[in-house]
Amino acid sequence: MPIRLGETAPNFNAQTTMGDINFHEWAGDSWVILYSHPSDFTPVCTTELGRTAALKEEFERRNAKAIALSVDDLESHMKWLGDIEETQNVKMNFPIIADEDKSVAIAYDMMHPEADAKFTVRSVYIIDPNRKVRLTLTYPPSTGRNFQEILRVLDSLQLTDGYSVATPVDWKDGEDVVVSPSIATEDIPDKFPKGHKVIKPYLRTTPQPNR
CATH number, residue 63:
3.40.30.10
Q: How many domains does the structure of the chain reveal?
A: 2
Q: Is 116 a catalytic residue?
A: no
Question: Is 170 found in the same domain as 93?
Answer: no
User: Within 10 Å of residue 68's Cβ, how many Cβ atoms?
Assistant: 21
Extract the runs of DSSP E, i.e. beta strands, from the chain: 13-16, 21-22, 31-36, 64-70, 96-98, 122-127, 133-139, 165-166, 177-179, 197-200, 203-206
Domain end position, chosen among 90, 117, 144: 144
Domain span at residue 169?
A: 163-206
CATH number, residue 194:
3.30.1020.10
Please pick, among 14, 32, 45, 121, the residue that the annotation labels catalytic. 45
190 in a structural domain: yes
With beta carbons less than 8 A apart as the criterion, state whether 149 and 49 touch: no
Task: Report the b/e string of 117-155 with b at 16+ CB within 10 A.
Answer: eebbbbbbbbbbeeeebbbbeebeeeeebebeebbbbbb
Question: Is 168 found in the same domain as 139?
Answer: no
Question: Is 25 found in the same domain as 121?
Answer: yes
Question: Is 180 found in the same domain as 86?
Answer: no
7: which residues sit within 8 A by CB, 6+ positions away?
132, 133
pTM: predicted TM-score of the whole model, two decimal places = 0.93
8 in a structural domain: no
pLDDT digits over 104-162, tens only? 999 998 876 655 555 667 899 999 999 999 999 999 888 999 999 999 999 999 999 99
Residue 1 pLDDT > 80: no
With beta carbons less than 8 A apart as the criterion, state whether 50 and 87 touch: yes
pLDDT digits over 52-76, tens only? 999 999 999 999 999 999 989 999 9
149: which residues sit within 8 A by CB, 6+ positions away?
none
Question: Is 168 found in the same domain as 135?
Answer: no
Is residue 99 helix, strand or coil?
coil
152 in a structural domain: no
